[in-house]
Structure 1
């Protein structure tokens, strides 16, 4: 098995070549009175790979910018968001559990954030707080880089949380027929209802029972958005081991740590093309970086900075 995907699948993912990133401490811009600041708002944020990824990208471009963790208790979200503008931040990423809570605090939100009801990137520009959801961009761009066709294909999404909303919107906008399976049907139905006003009827997600996996053997694309396969569920697979995966499908697991989850092991053993979510992580981060700076970061540099590459 090839961690993170079949050879053909992951060929499009930037190689995590340590030579692409500066050695620790080398090439880093000094922090001074002109240093621009961005950060990550969440609770907690100590586990995040984002600071390493973004600081490496900024250093490689010679930008006087620093990306810092911003641990934000839920009862202080409003103060923290207002503080971004007051303190002259370029912006911030937003992670669990604040992606929904920040929406009413912003001056503008883009179409994707409005449709999914979630913001993962705030940009401060001309005194305005603007929200975006670059998870949508990251997922779409990674599928494109992997050469996975979407238009007219049958997509099956496992899970109905915040990530599933971004995936369902991205797939629906790209012309896929989307079905969502979740252990909590009410959550899946709410996802479909919330996305319906923003998608053509033919591409609005349908909902089926979690127990109906076997009825979706014709799926062309299977996307796991659940935490199954990630610590502390790293032995679990959302797809039953006894149920064969559709042989013609592409299997995409948003989990990237561990690089080869039980679901991806199943796909590898069956000779089915597959990929983990590392490319989505990198590409959503790169999209946010570009929104803040107007510069396109080097994905190889960002990948090499991740602890997974060390």
Structure 2
């Protein structure tokens, strides 16, 4: 079950949103009384409600907007109970001042906006002693492992417990709460109006992730990155899982580089069966794998991990996706269209390795350039390529220009790694960034009359291959492509 938190300044707006989400299927709504900018009319808010309601009035110290006296706040919560609200949320330090009355159930809560404390069990015990029907603990995650700690707290508690992490590191705890026994999780009415750090909207929880269908039997997959909020991998993989009627879900996992090993160790307990691996982990993940396929080993980078019989097996789908994307732009150029062609690769990370490997296999003259010249040199040596200094990159007469850097990625959409005046009509310009699809580099290339390949094409191709590794089935390509197009705006292929 999802509890939709609604915080609006006017009674009319709060009532309208509560009615709307209940019509959309919400089974529980939290009315944040502290958001209302005038005297709260509880009878008006609770009359004709379409689903059960939680009455909450948060102090500023607990992340709320209440500026009145605490005496008035407690009086408001007592009145909500008298008026028959279904649930009341009470902080642990004041719960003893508001006794049980009538049929109203008590949610005893604790919020920590600075950390996830080590003594979670002690905190839970204190909350449980306050005549709790439900215990709620919400803390700020600093480590991916905090998610597992909170989920296991829900799973092992005798009193129904909602234990969730705030912040983008904590998103998995919100999505997996029900799988680990929480009576409900929290969502906001709209993604642009979050009431707590890291909250997802009711629409995202239901449409994108199918929260109600995530059970103990559900196989968990996801993308591991830092940052991860921009990733559209959950969008297309969940669309594919749903279309294929598979008991699987795909989540975003933000994992800092120095915590990758710890996160991979937590994966079995989280129920994770496979991962897409992206910036900055494609090379770092190699050291944690038990088996690596030939392509990934040669490239030195992995973008797909599958958990097979207790072992971590790594694959690379980027190189094939990149080559297929480039070949699609040379369909009329003969049987070996890339042989001898000069390809300038901007960047020297995991994606650059995959592209360089694929192109050298097809006989291209590959030139690597990167701001870190040493890194570019190591990549060039690995695949017997040439290098050019970053400041000299625009002097290379390349037939194919490939950007594998994050320059131009959302939110820095007004940046380009290559000046427009150096792009000529005979070039094929390939930007591996897919969000946005129409990067400034791609826009400039179109204006210069060049053939272009957007990151969407490569992104979909590599995701199709990942889907096959995850499921053993062919991917519903058009479903994935259509969902991505709807998420990024009209795309030109």
Q: TM-score, normalised by structure 1?
A: 0.80
Whole-Å Cα distance in 2 between the matches of residues 74 and 184 of structure 1?
Answer: 19
Matched, 1:236 2:419: no
Unaligned runs of 5+ in 2: 1-205, 332-336
Aligned to 2:466: 288
Aligned with 2:232 (options 37, 49, 59)? 49
Matched, 1:64 2:247: yes
User: What secondary structure, in the 3-state scheme, does the structure 1 residue paired with 2:325 have?
Assistant: helix
Whole-Å Cα distance in 2 between the matches of residues 104 and 184 of structure 1?
Answer: 23
Alignment of 1:53-92 (within 5 A): 53-85=236-268, 88-92=271-275
Aligned with 1:191 (options 379, 404, 425)? 379
Aligned with 2:432 (options 235, 248, 254)? 254
Larger Rg: 2
User: What secondary structure, in the 3-state scheme, does the structure 1 residue paired with 2:295 have?
Assistant: helix
Aligned with 1:103 (options 266, 278, 286)? 286
Q: 1:75 to 1:144 in 2, by over 3 A?
A: same
Whole-Å Cα distance in 1 between the matches of residues 394 and 247 of structure 2?
Answer: 53
Aligned to 2:448: 270
CA contact (8 A) 2:329 2:428 kept: no
Q: 1:239 to 1:47 in 2, by over 3 A?
A: closer
Q: 1:300 to 1:147 in 2, by over 3 A?
A: farther
Q: 1:33 to 1:261 in 2, by over 3 A?
A: closer
User: What secondary structure, in the 3-state scheme, does the structure 2 residue paired with 1:226 have?
Assistant: coil
Whole-Å Cα distance in 1 between the matches of residues 410 and 214 of structure 2?
Answer: 35
Q: C-alpha displacement at 1:224, in angstroms?
A: 1.4
Unaligned runs of 5+ in 1: 1-23, 197-203
Whole-Å Cα distance in 1 between the matches of residues 458 and 440 of structure 2?
Answer: 19
CA contact (8 A) 1:221 1:252 kept: yes
Aligned to 1:21: none
Aligned to 2:136: none
Aligned residues: CA RMSD: 2.5
Whole-Å Cα distance in 1 between the matches of residues 466 and 411 of structure 2?
Answer: 29
CA contact (8 A) 1:81 1:102 kept: no
Q: Which has the higher contact order (CA 8 A, sep 6+)?
A: 1
Whole-Å Cα distance in 1 between the matches of residues 316 and 407 of structure 2?
Answer: 23
CA contact (8 A) 2:420 2:445 kept: no
Whole-Å Cα distance in 1 between the matches of residues 400 and 393 of structure 2?
Answer: 13
